[in-house]
A and B are shown apart, each in its own frame.
Chain A
Amino acid sequence: MSATLLAPSVEGRTGPAGWDHADASPTADHALIDIRDLWRVYHLGSVTVEALRGVSLQVHQGEFVAIVGPSGSGKSTLMNIIGCLDRPSAGSYVLAGTSVEGLSDDELARLRSREIGFVFQSYNLLARTSATDNVATPLLYQGVGRRERIERSRAALTELGLGERLDHLPSELSGGQQQRVAIARALVTNPSIILADEPTGNLDTASGVEVMARFHALHRQGRTIVLITHDHEVAAQAPRQVHVRDGQLV
């Protein structure tokens, strides 16, 4: 169970009925993330801020990419767009064969639910909710039945070495353990991409090392990982690094 759960199985995945999969099969030619000349412009009153200015980026199946840049460089904006939380102002973004252009909020949420697993700096677990229920929540929004949710959630937590902490609340776990619960939550839906935003930012060195080891293990299993960080030491661990400065890749 757990082996298949965490193995990369993009070929075996079936999207919700009705989803157009004509171009979804990832091949060498089709990048999993295909961003071309992407702009993101904010209008704050009379001021116009260009957070991203013509970014192009391709990430292929099985890659481990670090997006590095100082704060204010636009890397968070880029992460929000990759994670389907935000939309580009101009340019195209095709995620696993689906263009985000013209998608409604609900369609964007479905795409996010299917393709993206988020890991945040501040863990962002639901308070007063057990580790098992936290990890099971993304499956709730995919319409998975309760029994299967609990089963898959427990398997994912066990896989991350939290088999003894299934019923603990986030407040009863250490930072490193909470981040591992968050990773289990990102993995449980078997998404195309793990999108990690400063995942070691709130952790002490030892926990940080452990969490990074998890990412390396996932990469070896064939997972696609996009890591956003301002920390060059962390970024250096990724096989491929992309630098962002002033809204452009350098």
Chain B
Amino acid sequence: MSASELVRLALSRLAASRMRALLTMLGIIIGVGSVVALVAVGQGATAGISANLQSLGTNLLTVNAGASTSGFTRGAFGSATTLTVDDAAALAELDGVAALAPELSTSALVTAGDANETASIVGTNEDYARVRNYTVWQGSFLNGVSVDAGLRVAVIGSDTATNLGLGASDVGSDIRIAGIPFQLVGILQPKGTSGAASNDDIVLVPITAVQHYFNATDSVRSIAISVATSEQMDTVKAQATTLLRERHAIASGSSDDFTIADQAQLLESVDSISSLLTILLAGIASISLVVGGIGIMNIMLVSVRERTREIGIRKAIGARGRDILAQFLVEALTLSVIGGLIGVFLGVAVSMVVGQVAGWGFQFQPMTVLMAVGFSLLVGVVFGVWPARQAARLDPIVALRYE
């Protein structure tokens, strides 16, 4: 019997009991649908987070105070006070450094009129906007004069402005940071981030002002460096490492008392975490695919029992064992593949909706679809073979007598 004859036979059989066919396929539909949807959502989320990280600044190197251990964990992060304003000044002289901004953050209560909130206060310099990809919406950014002089001026993020009820007309007025009046000189454009940490709830003040009013020290927590071109990233990173080791008088063989993270590393680790999550989710969803396969096997076994007489008749009129085997196997395959296709359709629909709602859009992945359909074919074969063999092995005499 040719494949088309077998498929025709299977389809006419399934058409004769549509409700049962649909219920049998449900497990596969849910399994394939959830695999496709979860993989697409996982990939969409990864793309979203990557785009988000890009918006933090391009070609960015971040120097943090504190020793690095291994992997993602750092020893004594933030507690070390090894980076100084002078280190920042020295790094700024390196070739390939386009801009550099030291960061000294603290948090404090910010008050404007009756409104107040606890915000993250970042002491930095006039290059911060360039390094971190901020643009000013109203007023102006910190300038060299205010940074050098340690003036009490502040630039706030769009969320902070909203939270404090400040608008364009308030630029020039005073806000209080931990009770100390600062003049509001600018409000930033929202970065349009989606995801965990907001980049728009922030108060920027001259680093000198932070040192003067909040942290009486010349140490900084981190230094953000914008490298001129992406090709220079590695060179600048190496040079910065050498320079800082020299300045900190670290003997060769001893470990650094600072860490330099680049964007690529960060992106890589985010990628690896999210693909791990995607695989985990897809794995969980595949369990339902297996359960769906067992459902098909169950129904096929029932079907073989119910159709014992039909099998006997077919054998009496000339069907060989392999004809019966093929008939039942193709029936199981037809169930699993139709179920798989419906599942792909639903999975794609769900991931489109989720992508739309979450704002990272939808990327069609032909590979995922192919794999899902291939996997449902495999499920059909694995769980269809046993019932089909049972059918093929029936003794025609016994089968014909079966009531």
Q: Is B247 an interface residue (CB 8 A)?
A: no
A-contacting residues, B309-351, CB 8 Å: 309-310, 312-323
Residues in B380-402 with C-beta less than 8 Å from chain A:
396-397, 400
| Cβ A118 vs Cβ B397 within 8 A | no
A189 CA / B317 CA spacing, docked (Å): 10
Residue from B16, B317, B322 whose CB has the most chain A CB atoms within 10 Å:
B317
A85 touches which of B310, B314, B397 (Cβ 8 Å): B397
Cα distance A75–B16 when bound, in Å? 38
Contacts of A141 in B (CB 8 A): 1, 314, 317-320, 323
Q: Which of B1, B16, B317 contacts A118 (CB 8 A)?
A: B317
User: Closest CB of chain B to A40's CB: distance in Å?
Assistant: 11
Cβ contacts A145-166/B at 8 Å (1 or 0 each): 0100000000000000000000
Given contacts A106-B321, A128-B16, A143-B1, contact A83 B316 (CB under 8 A): yes
Q: Are A120 and B400 in touch, CB under 8 angstroms?
A: yes
Q: Output the least CB separation between A241 and chain B (Å).
A: 25
* A: interface residue count bin: 20 to 34
Which stretch, A20-28, A54-62, A108-116, touches the partner chain B? Answer: A108-116
Dominant secondary structure at the B interface: helix
Q: How far is the CB of B391 from chain A (nearest CB, A)?
A: 14
For A106, give its contact among B1, B5, B322, B400 (CB under 8 Å). B322
For A106, what are the chain B residues with a Cβ–Cβ distance below 8 Å?
320-322
Q: How far is the CA of A189 from the CA of B323 in the complex (A)?
A: 18
Q: How far apart are A119's CB and chain B's nearest CB, in angstroms?
A: 10
Check A146 against B316 for contact (C-beta < 8 Å).
Answer: no
Given contacts A124-B400, A128-B16, contact A109 B5 (CB under 8 A): no
What is the distance, in angstroms, from B396's C-beta to the closest C-beta of chain A?
5
CB distance A118 to B310 under 8 Å? no
Q: Which residues of B contact A207 (CB under 8 A)?
A: none
Q: Is the CB of A85 within 8 A of B313?
A: no
* Beta-carbon contacts under 8 Å, B1-38 to A: 1, 5, 16
Q: Is the CB of B397 within 8 A of A80?
A: yes
Give Cα A83 to B315, complex, Å.
11
* Contact residues, A79-131 vs B (CB, 8 A): 80, 83, 85-86, 105-106, 109-110, 112-114, 118, 120, 124-128
Within 8 A of A (CB), among B254-312: 309-310, 312
> Taking the complex as formed, is A185 at the interface, i.e. its CB lies under 8 A from any CB of chain B?
yes
Contacts A85-B396, A124-B313, A141-B1 given: A112-B16 contact, CB under 8 Å?
A: no
Which chain A positions have C-beta within 8 A of B319?
109, 141
Interface pair B320/A110, CB less than 8 Å apart? yes
Chain B residues with CB below 8 A from A137, complex form = 314, 317
- Chain B contributes a number of interface residues (CB within 8 A of A) equal to 20
The reply to whether A105 and B321 form a contact with Cβ atoms under 8 Å apart is yes
Bound-state CA distance A112–B318 (Å) is 6
CB contacts (< 8 Å) of B310 on chain A: these are: 126-127
Tell me if A74 counts as interface (CB < 8 A to partner B). no
Cα(A138)–Cα(B314), bound, Å:
8
A142 and B318 form a contact (CB under 8 A) = yes
Known: A86-B397, A118-B316, A124-B400. A109 touches B309 (CB 8 A): no
Bound form: Cα–Cα A128–B1 in Å:
21
B396 neighbours in A (Cβ, 8 Å) = 85
Contact B316 A112 (CB under 8 A): yes
Let me know if A140 is at the binding interface, CB within 8 A. yes
Q: Determine the distance from Cα of A140 to Cα of B318 in the docked complex, in whole angstroms.
A: 9
Q: Does B309 contact A138, Cβ atoms closer than 8 Å?
A: no
CA distance A127 to B309 in the complex (A): 10
Contact check, B320 vs A109: say whether CB atoms are below 8 A apart: yes
Cross-chain contact A126 with B320 (CB below 8 angstroms): no
Distance A170 CA – B308 CA, assembled complex (angstroms): 18
Q: Closest chain A residue to B9 by CB distance?
A: A140
Q: What residue of chain A has the Cβ atom nearest to residue B313's Cβ?
A: A124
Is B397 in contact with A146, judged by CB distance below 8 angstroms?
no
Residue of B nearest to A114 (CB): B318
Give chain A residues whose Cβ lies under 8 Å from the Cβ of B397: 80, 85-86
B313–A126 contact, CB under 8 A? yes
Distance in angstroms between the alpha carbons of A114 and B322 in the assembled complex: 17
- Determine the residue in chain B with the shortest Cβ distance to A189: B318
Q: Are A185 and B320 in contact (CB under 8 A)?
A: no
Which A residue sits closest to B403, measured CB to CB?
A122
Contact A138 B400 (CB under 8 A): no
Shortest CB distance A196–B (Å) = 13
B317 touching A138 by the CB < 8 A rule?
yes
B317: chain A residues within 8 A (beta carbon)? 113, 118, 137-138, 141, 185
Give Cα distance in the complex from A168 to B312, angstroms: 22
Which residue of B is nearest A129, CB measured? B12
**Distance (whole angstroms) from the CB of B159 to the closest CB of chain A:** 67
Closest to A185 in B: B317
CB-CB under 8 A from B320, the residues of chain A are 105-106, 109-110, 141
A140 to B324, CA, bound (A): 12
Residues of A within 8 Å of B318, CB to CB, are 109-110, 112-114, 138, 141-142, 189
Q: Using CB atoms, name the residue of chain A closest to B314.
A: A137
Given contacts A85-B396, A120-B400, A126-B310, contact A140 B5 (CB under 8 A): yes
Residues of B within 8 A of A138 (CB): 317-318
A83-B316, A127-B310, A141-B317 known; 11 new pairs, CB 8 Å cut-off, are A85-B316, A85-B396, A109-B319, A109-B320, A112-B316, A118-B317, A124-B400, A125-B313, A126-B313, A138-B317, A141-B320
4 tightest Cβ-Cβ pairs between the two chains A and B: A113-B318, A141-B318, A109-B320, A138-B317
Give B contacts to A, CB under 8 Å.
1, 5, 16, 309-310, 312-323, 396-397, 400
> Can you list 11 contacts pairing A with B, beta carbon distance less than 8 Å?
A85-B315, A85-B316, A86-B397, A106-B320, A113-B317, A113-B318, A120-B316, A124-B309, A141-B314, A146-B5, A185-B317
- B-contacting residues of A (Cβ < 8 Å)? 80, 83, 85-86, 105-106, 109-110, 112-114, 118, 120, 124-128, 137-138, 140-143, 146, 185, 189
